[in-house]
Structure 1
Amino acid sequence: MSEQYAVAYTAGAKYYGAQAIINLWKPNIQQPNEFSLSQFWIGGGSNENINTIEAGWQACPNLYGDYNPRLFIYWTSDGYHTTGCYNLHCSGFIQVNNQIAMGGSLSPISAYGGSQYAINILVWKDPGSGNWWMRFGNSYVGYWPSSLFSDLDKSASFIEWGGEIINSKSNGQHTSTNMGSGHFPREGFSKASFFKNIQVVDGSNYLIDPNGIGTIVTQSNCYDIQTGSSGSWGNYFFYGGSGRNNNCP
């Protein structure tokens, strides 16, 4: 099994948060032990000891018992080795809002060629306490205490936004698990999945546009990404794909 990504990223500065409006879909998941997620990563530290805060939506049958897209968070302070968990499955994230369910199903869901729906998530480091707060829509959900982390207790060194899937390679074939809508970015609005208004929080606690956006794609014939910018959408990208196809055997 392996992870595959189609993400946009920014690095090379100190970051104190990130936000995005994330298009909501119900992707096809081939195997119950696979998942498809769309999120952003706030990270710092070395690869072996990386600190991350992650938030977005995921479809993960083994975790939730169904294929619905669900609001989720994740964190680690040691490169996913022994610390961290999804949602509230371990101590760490302190939830202060009892109206929002971590791991709860999200709806309505976007339709191919039809109505589009999205969620808006902001995570930022409170300058006073140093804790990392999360806002979902207009609601403050809770925070990750600064004391959980060895690098994110100060600031982040990179932000990533995009999609990830698990490829179990059953029978030696690439999975047909979808990323995003299951359609490639070239199809554009209402067909391909998108992130828009992607921003970072600077040292003065302001949301600003990233200073340069790169992309990371594991296997572009299976899942891909195309970035852009416009007045109303700010910095955005279309991303995703079908997984197994004639060019992704």
Structure 2
Amino acid sequence: MALCVVVVLSICLLCFCGVQAISKQSDHTNLNEPNLISVLPSTQDDDFDCVDIYKQPALSHPLLKNHKIQFATINTTKSTTFHGAQATIAINGPPVSSDQYSMAQVWVQSGPLNVIQAGWAVDGFKSTGCYNAQCPGFVQVHPIYRPGQPFQNISIPRGTQYVFDVVITQEPINGNWWLVERNNLSIGYWPKELFNHLGDGAEVVRYGGTTSASKTGLSPQMGTGSLPNRDYRTGVGYFIQNKIMGSDFVMNDILLTEMVKNVDTSTACYDLGYYGFVASDVRETFSYGGPGGSCGT
């Protein structure tokens, strides 16, 4: 099993693999609550292969010809152009078999194939597709941190919470899309020329989790394997400090009135609960996930 941060470009997947390295203590200082620690990848190399979401080995199985990737997400509904998104995502490590994966990520998308995603993934495939930052198109700029580096820690229910700050943002002048850590630490970018739709901005932004079932039809856990709970510290997968960059290139909190919940399987398998503005240090918050199992297709 490998846990990674995935970055998807059209038909390519790039990965920050693993869970590793404490970066800083947040301003979350209430001693009655679990510590909230934001992390960055370590400098250790730990690459593994990734594959386009609909070109994985499991989906080539005859019985899975019409299989759908299962989503539990919140999606934008506003008809406008988006130029970025950010979230702080709890790092979890749900178990997966060799032909499953379980992810948590932020999407920006225009058209059917112009997609950039960033988040973490537990991926059991490891054998096909391109190799992390060696996938064509992504321009690495940071001398230390890059797709493919592991983290070390995962969140502990009712204990220390390890989170990863993800920012995807488009430059207003040249249109390049950047992967940035919340404290303006630039990892790299995708040139505008790579896209035939995203070059002028995104039509849709999504936040949440996805999974892929095994050949037996069983779906893995999503998040921590627990269904959503308003108290995000109790052992559920969660996103906090969720923001979106609109046509004015200003990053603002997402608004419940401009988002729609999308769960395309039984809510006994996966679900998502959006709880709005919870507190000044976590802001717009939702939890997601579930035990998986025989969820259907």
Q: TM-score range by the shorter chain?
A: 0.7 to 0.9
Q: Distance in 2 between matches of 1:55 and 1:123?
A: 8
Post-superposition offset of 1:88: 1.8
Q: Distance in 1 between matches of 2:208 and 2:283?
A: 16
- What amino acid maps onto 1:164 in structure 2? T
Q: TM-score, normalised by structure 2?
A: 0.70
Task: Flag structure 2 segments of 5+ consecutive residues without an equivalent.
Answer: 1-63
Deviations 1:81-131 (A, max 9, x none): xxx967324211101012113122223210122211110111111012110
Q: Within the alignment, does 1:244 sit opposite 2:289 as a pair?
A: no
Partner of 1:4: 70
Match of 1:179 in 2: 222
Q: Which has the higher strand share?
A: 1
Please tell me the root mean square deviation across aligned C-alpha atoms, in Å.
2.2
Match of 1:148?
Answer: 194
Q: Tell me, yes or no, if structure 1 residue 228 matches structure 2 residue 278.
A: no
Change (3 A) 1:187 1:202: closer
Match of 2:89 among 9, 14, 22: 22
Choose which of 102, 107, 110 in structure 2 pairs with 1:44.
Answer: 110
- Given that 1:119 and 1:137 are in contact with CA atoms closer than 8 Å, whether structure 2 keeps it comes out as no
Q: Which amino acid aligns with 1:27?
A: P
C-alpha distance in 2, partners of 1:235/1:137?
16
Q: Secondary structure at the match of 1:244?
A: coil
Contact map agreement 1:14 1:155 (CA 8 A) in 2: yes
Q: Unmatched 5+ residue regions in structure 1?
A: 65-83
SS class of match (1:129): coil
The runs of at least 4 aligned residues of structure 1 exceeding 3 Å deviation read 84-87
1:168 Cα offset (Å): 1.9
- CA-CA distance at 1:236 after TM superposition: 1.6
AA aligned opposite 2:251 = L
Q: How high is the TM-score relative to the length of structure 1? A: 0.82
| Residue in structure 2 matched with residue 68 of structure 1 by the alignment | none
Which residue type is aligned with residue 240 of structure 1?
G
Check whether the contact 1:28–1:182 (CA below 8 A) recurs between aligned residues: no
Report the Cα distance in structure 2 between the residues aligned to 1:215 and 1:143, rounded to whole angstroms.
Answer: 29
Q: 1:189 aligns with which of 232, 241, 251?
A: 232
Could you tell me how far 1:187 is from its partner in structure 2?
6.9
How many residue pairs align between the two structures?
A: 222
2:263 match: 217
8 Å CA contact 2:84–2:244 kept in 1: the answer is yes
Residue of structure 1 equivalent to 2:120: 57
Aligned match of 1:208: 252
Go from structure 1 to structure 2 and tell me whether the alpha carbon gap of 1:86 and 1:196 turns closer, same or farther (over 3 Å shift): farther
Residue 4 of structure 2: aligned partner: none
CA distance in 1, matches of 2:152, 2:195: 33
Q: Cα distance, 1:169 vs. partner? A: 4.8
Distance 1:187 1:213, change over 3 A: closer
Structure-2 change in CA distance of 1:39 and 1:86 (3 Å): farther
| Cα distance in 2 between the residues matched to 1:229 and 1:85 | 38
Percent identity between the aligned chains? 31
